[in-house]
Structure 1
Amino acid sequence: MSETTIDRRRARGDASRRLILDSATDLASVEGLDGLTIGRLAESAGMSKSSIATLFGGKEALQLAAVDAAAEIFRGAVVDPARELPRGVERLAKLLRGALDYSRNRVFTGGCFFAATAADMDSKPGPVRDAVRGWLRDWYGYLEAQVRHAAEAGQITADASTVRRLAFELIALDNEANSRSLLIGDDSPYVIAASAMREKLLAVGAEPAALEPLA
């Protein structure tokens, strides 16, 4: 078999894998990771069970691949654009706006993939829960780090306890906007959350110009 033939087959396999994972992440955002089975995905994506099983092996491997794919999408939509800005308040505001828009724009039909799957997996120990938990720990830690950088740079006035609480409150506003928008079917929770985030950061001394993404 020639290298060209192998490369073509690999490219087809990669394309099929991406297509399946697009369907898998969207399905899991609505039905949860526990409902993401090869059979259910085959039904939803209009593909054969055998083709999905060939690429992923089993349910757990599929679920873990979906978590990785969703994390990559989130990084591209929220984290990477914010990294173009300096650490601290400017990057924090961009991250918060990106997280709100990622949910509001329904990158996934069920809103935030990780909010949906965390609720589904939080009481089910195992590698899939560990993957979801690990990603959330990294995301929350990264956002808190921006609050800490802002405090250390004198962009806001906050001691260590205030930094942790402020990060918690900002994340809670984002999560509530996602949850309530899905429940009531409109965008108003995102407007309210952005305004509340801005007010909290202004209250600790952030410059209004740095918070333009939340205006």
Structure 2
Amino acid sequence: MSKGRITRDNILATAFELASANGLESLTIGELAKQCGMSKSGLFAHFNAKENLQLAVLDYANQTFVARVIAPARELDDGNMQGKLRHILANWLNWNQSFQGSCMFLDAWREAGHSECALQRALKATIASWIEYLRIQIGKGVISGEFKRDLAIEQASYELYGLYLSAHLFYSLYGQERSEQHFWQGVDRLFASWLG
């Protein structure tokens, strides 16, 4: 790996930490340069604009999400889709809680507002691909017969994602313990309604 690539990866790791703590919108080249011990012009040469930096951090966050949440579940057998989904959901909650109960993707989505900027389009694609991944896993459970044949897969993924959004909000209001308790109770009820 080239020195430039190593430097860029180190910058993105620091930027990811800052964006996770303070929001993607608050990320500036000046603050990041200070945290990385670089000059603003040296850091600017890697990205050329704040939006390019934000997009690069979003891509880095997405890769980190895949490594922490999805990749470990890919090693599990598809013969027990409920168990696999529970593993994915536990990883997902751990991802969320590693940032004080906040989700960088959802926070950035809220910060970007309703504009059709490149960042908003990238966030939309990232979240949509994650929902599609959940939909595929639920579909595997239907195909295998573990979940009922007439399960409305899109509705099921909608409801599962809704539980996560509720957990995200409850964490900020009531803390981790209550958030997790309600989340897993909701998951238990949802899965019970899916069984074939």
Report the TM-score range of the alignment, normalised by the length of the smaller protein.
0.7 to 0.9
Q: Retained in 1: the 8 A contact 2:101–2:168?
A: no
Aligned equivalents of 2:64, 2:111: Cα separation in 1: 20
Instruction: Report matched runs for 1:122-161 at 5 Å.
Output: 122-159=113-150
- In structure 2, relative to structure 1, the CA distance for the partners of 1:179 and 1:24 (3 Å cut) is farther
* Alignment partner, residue 189 of structure 1: 179
Q: Deviations over 1:11-33 (max 9, x none)?
A: 3x333222221221232234333
Task: Tell me what 1:100 maps to.
Answer: 93
Once residues 138 and 39 of structure 1 are traced to their aligned partners in structure 2, the CA distance between those partners, rounded to angstroms, is 32
> 1:49 deviation in Å?
1.3
Do the aligned residues in 2 keep the contact of 1:25 with 1:113 (CA within 8 Å)? no
The AA in structure 2 aligned to 1:138 is S
1:146 alignment partner AA: Q
**Distance in 1 separating the partners of 2:128 and 2:113:** 13
Q: Answer 1 or 2: higher relative contact order, Cα 8 Å, separation at least 6.
A: 1
Q: Which has the larger radius of gyration?
A: 1
8 Å contact 2:147–2:194 — kept in the other structure? Answer: yes
Q: In 1, distance between residues paired with 2:174 and 2:35?
A: 25
Gaps of 5+ in 2: none
Q: Decide which of 91, 116, 121 is 2:84's aligned counterpart.
A: 91
- Unaligned stretches of 5+ residues in structure 1: 1-6, 207-215
Which residue of 2 is the match for residue 26 of structure 1?
17
Give identity over the alignment, percent.
29
Q: What is the distance in 1 between the residues matched to 2:120 and 2:140?
A: 30
Q: Contact between 2:135 and 2:154, CA under 8 Å: does it hold in 1?
A: yes
CA distance in 2: counterparts of 1:158 and 1:30, whole angstroms: 43
